[in-house]
Structure 1
Amino acid sequence: MGLKQKLFAAAALSMVLSGCSTVSQNNEAATQFGGMDERLFNANLTKHDRWLKKGDAQIEQEMKDYHVQDTPTTSKQTFKIHGLGAQQLVEVWPNPSVVPTQGSYAENVISTATMYFGTPYEYGSDRSDPSTFDCSDFTRWAFLSSVGMDLPKDSRNQALYVQTYSNHPYTNIYDAQRGDLLFFISFNGTDPQSYRNKNKSIEEITHTGIYLGNGKMIHTASVATGGVRIDNVFGNHLEWRFVLGGSVLDVK
């Protein structure tokens, strides 16, 4: 998708992304641009979708020269390194040269994320090239390119980052706030019974997205579901798969 197309899509989706939009406006705008088109919840389509089921699991083994997180190189960014078991996380903050949009860095992130609406899905996508994304590459790139925060490169360590540094991590998806990162276990079907006996505290996290408010999330899940898209998170398998959420901007 070219820059002009991305900017057009972002403008056209303004109703979806505005925190004060009505639900009917959200549905109409997102459907027009391929967001809430129900592909993600179509049982016939998703039951054969290998990438939806895989999420970003095992990208550590698939990607060359994989590092959980790159140490920031800009002198404008303050950071500390904390060891957590076998992992090391780098705590990062917004670049001080970035001006918050409408007084909130979350708006910077969301505005940038919408520019990539419709960008194709690729499992194990190049973390330095925004021409394709998997789920954690998309969330990382949205924060990196908008406010200069270089988050971990996979959903499991992004979740660990939220759990470690967020001022208010939560396990109830109804606590989600605009700009939060949301994390999910693997897709196992569109039937709620498929998740009833899942112990989500020990299941592997394999998917993530950015919460927009009004029950909507921007994320990317697979080739078949169209790359970067917007979906409802309530009353479907996203709600049933939800594990953890929180802000990386509102920190301890």
Structure 2
Amino acid sequence: MTKRDWLQKSTVAVMLSTSLFMFADGGHAAAKTVDSQSSAKAAEVVTQAKALIGKDYKYGAVGPNSFGSAGLATYIFKKAGIGVEDTIPKLYKAGETVVTNDIQKGDLLFFSSNGKGAPSFMGIYIGDGQYIYSSQGEAAVVVKNLSDYSEKLVGARRVLPADSGTVTKPSPGDTENSSSSAIGDKVIAAGKKYMGTPYEYGSTRSNKKTMDCSELTMWAYLEGANIDMGRGGARSQANYVKSKGTYTTDINKLKKGDLVFFMAYKGYKESDYKGINVPKQSITHVAIYMGDNKLLNTFSKESGGVKITDFKNTHWEYRFVMGGRPY
């Protein structure tokens, strides 16, 4: 048996193993499948990566028969129709930062030998707690369990394009019916109970004396729909919606009770947001869509805490990134 044959057999065996690396967020697996443009691209990246298992390692190589650490990612994403940088330092700055409990298929993972500092090698997450990379030590493209390398992980980046349009995950027998509408009404009612509650940035989730934007939405969905999105902020809730719910980037397709996510404030005029690449913007705020051009949210002490504000033709509309519900 040649070295390459042995590597192919051993790595395939790893892929078929039942080992599953579990992250935080209630013990759910890191990768979730969403019926969307982004997940379709992620699946394509994973397929391309698996097809290269056993190929030779060569420093700085970019394929098709041998690969360096960064060259493997560059080649795979190019095959999937996505242009990315071709060095580890550049890739480490590409896309957006991903926290460890939100790593998804197609994300780039970066490692160093001592688990800190600049990364020295990298791979692509393929789901089920595993990643693929071109290993200098094993002289080939191999599959590894992320749990075995978690202490060496120094960062993760998402370079896959953001979704466009509406993403849906229908439940059996459930269209946009009275049941879904009733949940939205209950969420709004639960949130309105906190009208006037003082605003506090980074408020504790242990009491309801003060709230920031994501604590308001957390309690509204927990009490109104019995859905626990965790104790994270607006960005964490957006990731929860993407991975477990339905969402849209079309402001006209929002429904009552949807969570609405916004980029940072850059001004009150529409022109202040011209030319901005919306999918690349970090999410900094979340509100509840009430219908009839109204939002339920909280954003500053000066504004009076939890309140109802207009939505369209205001800076809220110009800051809109996505909206949806976590179910």
Closer/same/farther in 2, CA of residues 177 and 197 from structure 1, 3 Å limit? same
Instruction: Tell me, in whole angstroms, the C-alpha distance in 2 between the residues paired with 1:242 and 1:154.
Output: 17
RMSD value over aligned CA atoms?
A: 2.3
Preserved contact between residue 248 and residue 324 of structure 2 (Cα < 8 Å): yes
In the alignment, structure 2 segments of 5+ residues that lack a partner are 1-22, 32-97, 103-177
Instruction: Tell me, in whole angstroms, the C-alpha distance in 1 between the residues paired with 2:181 and 2:237.
Output: 24
The TM-score, its normalising length taken from structure 2, stands at 0.46
Instruction: Tell me, in whole angstroms, the C-alpha distance in 1 between the residues paired with 2:180 and 2:250.
Output: 27
Cα distance, 1:101 vs. partner?
A: 8.8
Question: Secondary structure, in 3 states, of the residue corresponding to 2:290?
Answer: strand
Closer/same/farther in 2, CA of residues 225 and 101 from structure 1, 3 Å limit? farther
Instruction: Tell me, in whole angstroms, the C-alpha distance in 2 between the residues paired with 1:198 and 1:234.
Output: 18
Alignment of 1:1-252 (within 5 A): 71=26, 81-84=28-31, 86-88=99-101, 104-152=182-230, 153-167=232-246, 169-249=247-327
Instruction: Tell me, in whole angstroms, the C-alpha distance in 2 between the residues paired with 1:240 and 1:161.
Output: 23
Closer/same/farther in 2, CA of residues 82 and 212 from structure 1, 3 Å limit? same
Cα distance, 1:198 vs. partner?
A: 1.6
Question: Secondary structure, in 3 states, of the residue corresponding to 2:223?
Answer: helix
Instruction: Tell me, in whole angstroms, the C-alpha distance in 1 between the residues paired with 2:196 and 2:271.
Output: 31
The TM-score, its normalising length taken from structure 1, stands at 0.60
Preserved contact between residue 212 and residue 218 of structure 1 (Cα < 8 Å): yes
Which structure has the higher relative contact order (CA within 8 Å, separation 6+)?
A: 1
Preserved contact between residue 69 and residue 150 of structure 1 (Cα < 8 Å): no
Kindly name which structure, 1 or 2, has the bigger radius of gyration based on alpha carbons: 2
Preserved contact between residue 208 and residue 219 of structure 1 (Cα < 8 Å): yes
Cα distance, 1:82 vs. partner?
A: 2.5
Cα distance, 1:102 vs. partner?
A: 9.9
- One-letter amino acid matched to 2:191: A
Cα distance, 1:232 vs. partner?
A: 1.4
Instruction: Tell me, in whole angstroms, the C-alpha distance in 2 between the residues paired with 1:149 and 1:202.
Output: 28
Instruction: Tell me, in whole angstroms, the C-alpha distance in 1 between the residues paired with 2:323 and 2:212.
Output: 19
Cα distance, 1:105 vs. partner?
A: 2.0
In the alignment, structure 1 segments of 5+ residues that lack a partner are 1-67, 72-79, 90-99
Report the number of matched residues: 163
Cα distance, 1:147 vs. partner?
A: 3.0
